């Protein structure tokens, strides 16, 4: 019994450390969305036209952290959901465990709404986690075959969606070019051709920063709370509905299922040796870094192109999945070392209070960047 308790303790420590690093890492990406107009968040050429220090800091953050920290955090939510239910079932019965688990999710949903609307972090994930957590209750006992099939389905959707967008936009661009290349001495465009031209020009306009929109967002977010709250409403609502059901549900479910698979394989247990974690870290980060360097260079080289970025985005999760698993192994490996044991204790504390830390990040962002605080938004 003592050996089992020690094993669980070591496993929980590894899980808490990875979660702690993830929740801190998330802020490195979320801070940019909190601090800058949406039209400029990823337009490093506009914010640092000389390609200086700011450009490369932002580029490096995108390659190393964007999507990866959230992937880790989501993966750990899948792990925690299973462990919570299993712990409850051991201590009580299945019905009581279910009631307690869904009550926890209801509170998580409430915290997500508070974070998105009251704390003004429109990119909140807690609301989405609460909804998907309800699905995980049924999937916690699913077979490896079903879990892997679910992961592959999610990965396929995340790949097909941007590629289909790329294909459709490329086709529209070709049709637009055809209308421009045809000799027309005095013949006006047909209504169908004019509709096609207008559609393409709208798409092109949407890919370029709008000075009026940027100025308006800065004016509102350096103003009072009521103005920011009203501006935030539509964006937060879109995140929790359209974006969640079309995009984020596949992204989050992929990593939650991956977390359950890794947990069952003993990934977080002490029995998985240092050498195995080292191999996973090298291979995962090596593959992920290679894919994401190529992908981000392609994205920023073609940032103003309305078509090409979607081609690169189709490969995003092919690099992200091994990157996230490699990061998890690297974190476990580093904090198992005696040199970092003391620092690991601090990270464990962060991981155990992940919800509080996540909510406090929103408060810090609001107080630093918005008008009722230090009003540093847009700077």
Q: How far apart are CA 172 and CA 302, in angstroms?
A: 18
3-state secondary structure 297-366: HHHHHCCCCCCHHHHHHCCHHHHHHHHHHHHHHHHHHHHHCHHHHHHHHHHHHHHHCHHHHHHHHHHHHH
More reliable by pLDDT, 294 or 28: 294
Confidence grade of residue 52 (pLDDT, cut at 50, 70, 90): confident
More reliable by pLDDT, 89 or 370: 370
Confidence grade of residue 361 (pLDDT, cut at 50, 70, 90): very high
> Residue 138: CB partners within 8 Å, gap ≥ 6?
none
Confidence grade of residue 243 (pLDDT, cut at 50, 70, 90): very high
Residue 4 predicted with pLDDT over 60: no
**Percentage of residues in the chain with pLDDT exceeding 90?**
65
| pTM metric for this prediction | 0.91
Confidence grade of residue 141 (pLDDT, cut at 50, 70, 90): confident
pLDDT digits (tens, 9 = 90+) for 284-340: 999 999 999 999 999 888 878 899 999 999 999 999 999 999 999 999 999 888 888
> Residue 104: CB partners within 8 Å, gap ≥ 6?
84
């Amino acid at each position: 019994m003592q050996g089992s308790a020690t094993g669980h303790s070591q496993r929980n420590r590894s899980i808490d450390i990875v979660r702690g690093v993830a929740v801190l890492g998330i802020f490195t990406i979320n801070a940019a969305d909190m601090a800058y107009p949406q039209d400029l968040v990823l337009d490093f050429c506009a914010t640092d036209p000389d390609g200086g220090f700011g450009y490369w800091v932002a580029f490096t953050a995108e390659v190393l952290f964007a999507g990866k920290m959230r992937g880790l955090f989501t993966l750990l939510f899948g792990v925690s959901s299973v462990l919570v239910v299993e712990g409850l079932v051991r201590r009580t019965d299945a019905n009581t465990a279910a009631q307690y688990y869904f009550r926890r999710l209801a509170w998580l949903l409430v915290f997500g709404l508070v974070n998105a609307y009251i704390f003004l972090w429109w990119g909140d994930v807690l609301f989405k986690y609460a909804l998907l957590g309800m699905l995980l209750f049924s999937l916690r006992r699913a077979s490896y075959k079903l879990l892997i099939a679910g992961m592959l389905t999610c990965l396929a959707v995340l790949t097909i969606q941007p590629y289909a967008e790329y294909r459709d936009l490329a086709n529209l661009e070709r049709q637009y070019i055809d209308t421009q290349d045809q000799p027309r001495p005095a013949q006006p465009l047909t209504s169908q051709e004019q509709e096609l031209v207008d559609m393409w020009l709208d798409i092109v306009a949407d890919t370029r920063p709008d000075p009026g929109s940027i100025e308006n967002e800065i004016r509102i977010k350096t103003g009072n709370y009521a103005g920011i709250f009203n501006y935030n409403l539509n964006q937060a609502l879109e995140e929790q509905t359209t974006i969640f059901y079309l995009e984020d549900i596949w992204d989050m479910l992929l990593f939650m299922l991956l977390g359950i698979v890794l947990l069952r394989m003993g990934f977080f247990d002490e029995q998985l040796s240092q050498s195995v974690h080292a191999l996973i870290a090298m291979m995962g980060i090596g593959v992920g870094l290679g894919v994401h360097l190529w992908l981000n260079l392609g994205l920023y080289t073609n940032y103003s192109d309305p078509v090409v970025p979607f081609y690169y985005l189709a490969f995003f999760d092919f690099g992200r999945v091994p990157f996230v698993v490699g990061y998890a192994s690297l974190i476990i490996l580093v904090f198992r070392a005696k040199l970092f044991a003391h620092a690991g204790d601090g990270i464990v504390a962060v991981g155990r209070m992940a919800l509080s830390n996540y909510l406090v990040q929103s408060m810090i962002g609001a107080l630093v960047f918005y008008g009722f605080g230090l009003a540093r938004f847009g700077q």
